[in-house]
Structure 1
Amino acid sequence: MGLVLLVPATMLQASVAAAEPGQVADGGNALAAGAGMTMVTFNLHHDRENWPERRKTILAELQRLQPDAIALQEVIQKRNVRNQAEWLATQLGYSYLFVSTDPLGVTKRYGNALLTRRPVVARNQHLLQPLRDYRTVGHLRIDVDGRPVNVYATHLNERSDDAGKRTRRIQVEDLLRFVSATSGGEPVVIAGDFNALVDAGDLSELRSRYGDSYGSVHVNNDLDSVSTLNSHYYQAPSRIDHIFFQQDAMVAREARLLFDTPDEGGRWASDHYGVWTRLQFAPAPGAMPR
């Protein structure tokens, strides 16, 4: 069993000034339907294909939805490109955590991020085994109306061959060790680009512990035809971007794709679609139904 490496919070590049959340727009939290939270996962495609224009579409949709937490992959900062997570968080009035294997202080850094409009109770980051693959996971424990929830963001190995499957299996094992070490017994949500179908063998240990929010909501649909890879860029449908949740603590009530149509000028937000889900807190054991 590998060693779980926790990086001190002082080493994290994170914004700490989050604005008070405003009123949730239609199609957002819908907390009236039951206490819970909403979350988005989205692969930004870093700064390719005119990021200054793409980010307008991304920001507008996130402003409309006002999700409680956002997991981002392929986040970049470099000369003349402000950290994409920082920019979005600033525009939204959210706190953010950016996690990268690139050292602090270098011009170019690349990684994953978590954004939230909720108070942050704890934060951690971890470099996933095997270290040679340069993969990370970020963690925030947030306060959702007085209830702590752990949210995690990651991006696993992209190769589709046997070596890629073995690597993802090692990454999943390490991810789960990190979750166990940092969740403190509170509800867990894990989101990101897993580069694998939800029923793939390399994700089996993860799926044995956590539910697939999109699949839980659309259980009677033909999920084989659903893709989070943008069909403008990829021919074969492949649902590889997921939001997993702790099934004994939460219930998936809604889930849908985001950014699955181009803007008025025909520009796509990314080469991936995003995933949005609404999770409701499960009633405590023995609680009377309302």
Structure 2
Amino acid sequence: PEGCATAGPRRAGPLRVMSLNMLHGFPRFEHLGDRLDLIAGEIKRQDADIVCLQEVPWRPGLGNAARYLAEETGLNYVYVRANGNRWTILFQEGEAILSRYPLRDPGFAELMPRAGFFEHRVVLAATAATPWGDIRVFVTHLTNGEPAINRAQATSLMSFVETSGGGPAIVAGDFNAKEDSPQIQALAGRWVDTYRAAHPADVGYTCCVDDLTGRSAASLDERIDYLFLVPGEGLTTRVVDSRRILDQPVQMGQGWQWASDHVGLLSTIEIEPK
């Protein structure tokens, strides 16, 4: 909610935006407590201004993980449920935006078509009132099913974003599509793929860790998570840097722990009035 942030004033410098598919882990919620601590710690360590999260779980005893992370980091948050129902199966998951700045005008849309009757893919949106002006933020998680449905959902996402105002925007999430797919090529043709802008030749794998308590990153072999910058009216934007984060396990107790089966992204964006 707007106005719940307790984080201190931001340091000088460009906007810092983070994105992560945090792995809900239903029904066992593997190592969720430790992983939440790693994610909260990374948000604070990176001094992120805006955080886009996918697969954000609700579970008994914890409640909404978005609220937990917001309280741990002192950020505002908005959340939308995508799948599950905590009242009937004691679980749900969805998307969340955390922000150092006030969040206004939250909204969401279901991306069509559905890949299955019980599978819902949504985009969550909110306006971050930053020191440079309003920036629209979108977070989503597209289907990992039929490629044609994924492509159609990406088209639905593009339409939703581009009819939501003329200012600059951030679009981040797990797109479940490789960089050479038609849908990612189409999005990258209209928006700025921040990681690719900073690393033209790097593979940039973001998925997927096959052992959350293992030391090896060898199973990371796909780039399916993206953080796009949408240029807009009134402000000039430029990608200063973008890098993978949470891309190694951390030693906890007697073993090793990954924050998620996905690697996160942190993009630094310079914003100036035109």
TM range (shorter): 0.7 to 0.9
Distance 2:80 2:227 in 1: 19
TM-score (norm 1): 0.80
Cα shift readout 1:54-95 (whole Å, capped 9, x = no counterpart): 211111111122211111111111223321111101111212
Superposition map of 1:1-290 within 5 A: 15-24=1-10, 31=13, 36-47=14-25, 48-102=29-83, 106=87, 107-131=90-114, 132=116, 133-159=119-145, 164-182=146-164, 184-219=165-200, 221=201, 223-224=202-203, 226-233=204-211, 235=219, 237-247=221-231, 249-265=236-252, 266-281=256-271, 284=274
1:168 and 1:203 in contact (8 A); partners too = no
Instruction: Return the letter of the residue paired with 1:168.
Output: N
1:198 counterpart SS class: coil
Instruction: Return the letter of the residue paired with 1:228.
Output: T
2:191 and 2:231 in contact (8 A); partners too = yes
Where has structure 1 moved over 6 Å in runs of 4 or more?
none
Which residue in the other structure is 1:3 paired with? none
Alpha carbon RMSD of aligned pairs, Å? 2.1
1:198 and 1:212 in contact (8 A); partners too = no
Cα shift readout 1:156-196 (whole Å, capped 9, x = no counterpart): 1113xxxx2211111111112211232x2110110001111
Instruction: Return the letter of the residue paired with 1:213.
Output: T
1:231 and 1:237 in contact (8 A); partners too = no
TM-score (norm 2): 0.85
Distance 1:281 1:16 in 2: 23
Distance 1:100 1:257 in 2: 26
2:259 counterpart SS class: coil
2:56 counterpart SS class: strand
Structure with the higher strand share, 1 or 2 = 2
Instruction: Return the letter of the residue paired with 1:43.
Output: N
C-alpha change, 1:102 and 1:268, in structure 2 (3 Å) is closer
Distance 1:126 1:66 in 2: 29
Deviation of 1:232 (Å)? 5.0
2:18 counterpart SS class: strand
Deviation of 1:129 (Å)? 0.6
C-alpha change, 1:45 and 1:62, in structure 2 (3 Å) is same
1:101 counterpart SS class: strand
Of 74-83 and 262-271, deviating more is 74-83
1:39 and 1:276 in contact (8 A); partners too = yes
Identity of aligned residues (%): 28
Distance 1:101 1:61 in 2: 25
Distance 1:93 1:20 in 2: 4
1:208 counterpart SS class: helix
Unaligned runs of 5+ in 2: 212-217
1:75 counterpart SS class: strand
2:208 and 2:222 in contact (8 A); partners too = no
Distance 2:147 2:227 in 1: 20
Distance 2:6 2:35 in 1: 26
Which residue in the other structure is 2:215 paired with? none
Number of residues paired by the alignment? 254
